[in-house]
Structure 1
Amino acid sequence: MDPKKETMNEEELKAHTAHTGQQDQGETEKTAAETQEQAGTEKTEQVDELTKTQEELANMKDKYLRLSAEFDNYRKRTMKEKAELILNGGEKSISSILPIVDDFERALKNMETAEDVAAVREGVELIYNKFMTVLGQNGVKVIETKEQPLNTDFHEAIAVIPAPAEELKGKILDCVQTGYTLNDKVIRHAKVVVGE
């Protein structure tokens, strides 16, 4: 080959390389600028997302604190209402018994001057019946005992005696102390005598 052509080819190659290098450098600078711009955009997006997440967290904390305070207030209010129920729960029952107390006071006053024992007895029986009615209205019931089979859920046998008849064996013959239930719960067992 001709040395001139070789030199020319070398020069062309150098020029081409220089031109390509400048292009590459320009593209590299352009790519670097785009990368920086993308990185800046990504950072901005991340900062925005972080800010948004922090706001959501603050909102959730606020909701949690409000809900916690609300529940605490509810618990305190419920405890207060429960305490009031315990203290004043018997108010209705006591109020219904007060008229009977008035009747007893009148009966006692009349007993001082009464000469008719039958009339006094009748008055006391009326007061007793009224009292038992009030107890029934408040859920209190007398436990049945007469000639019932002994049931230890309701009865307490305090004595065992020979039964006067064969059919009365194992049954209640006498009630020494009346038993009561309150809304089907035994509040006092009936004390009974059982035949054997």
Structure 2
Amino acid sequence: MKKKDVSHKVNDAENTQNTSETKEERAAKAAAAMEEMLNEEGKEDECEQEGVDPKDQQIKDLQDRLVRNMAEFDNFRKRTEKEKANMFDMGARSIVEKLLPTIDNFERALKSVPEGKECESFAAGMDMIYKQLLKELEAVGVKPIECVGHEFDPNFHNAVMHVEDESVGDNIVVEEFQRGYTYKDAIVRHSMVKVAN
């Protein structure tokens, strides 16, 4: 490629730029265009020196570019799938957080059912609905945190009371005030507990 052609392309690159660009930006773009032209010229010279047909070299370069673009697209696809899965999990977790107060109300209602034959069938029906709700939540990855009788773990439990109790070991959860839940091994809500010292 002749120097006239290179300078002509550099001037074209400068003229087509937006007038709002700074001189530094235009100079950088002109230098990049000049470097690209010199690289192309250098490749042609290399091909001639090595006895390789410039067309074969161009085919090789295009194949290399194709392989890189395919790899880049594959990485993009994997990244997009991962982001989509994360978005789904965030949405599901948000829904679970909104359902937890309803589950708490079921538990409170079942504990407050008065004794008597007239309430037994109602309480049994409520208990069946409660268990079905927990079963469906467990099917999608929501599990209650087991805590009473287990050692206190700040990753899963929120201690709101301490009690001195020699019959129970140190740092053992003795009572649960509000049940905690996990969604796919991530904490949705910590268990509110009483811990023995």
**TM-score, normalisation: structure 1:** 0.51
Q: How much does 1:125 deviate?
A: 0.8
Give the 5 Å matches for 1:24-173.
52-88=52-88, 116-163=118-165, 166-170=166-170, 171-173=172-174
Please list the CA deviations of residues 107-152 of structure 1 after superposition, one character each: whole Å capped at 9, or x if unmatched: xxxxxxxxx5332221111111111112222233222222223222
In structure 2, relative to structure 1, the CA distance for the partners of 1:137 and 1:90 (3 Å cut) is: farther
Whichever residue aligns with residue 152 of structure 2, its letter is L
Q: Name the counterpart of 1:174.
A: 175
Contact 2:48 2:54 in 1 (8 A): no
**Larger Rg belongs to:** 1
CA RMSD, Structure 1 to Structure 2 (Å): 3.4
Contact 2:161 2:195 in 1 (8 A): yes
Q: Which runs of 5+ in 1 are unaligned?
A: 1-46, 95-100, 102-115
Give the 5 Å matches for 1:3-22.
none
Q: How much does 1:161 deviate?
A: 2.2
Q: Name the counterpart of 1:190.
A: 191
Q: Which runs of 5+ in 2 are unaligned?
A: 1-46, 96-101, 103-117
Identity of aligned residues (%): 20
Q: Name the counterpart of 2:110.
A: none
Task: Give the match's secondary structure for 1:148.
Answer: coil
In structure 2, relative to structure 1, the CA distance for the partners of 1:159 and 1:117 (3 Å cut) is: same
State the alpha-carbon separation in 2 of the partners of residues 194 and 81 from structure 1. 43
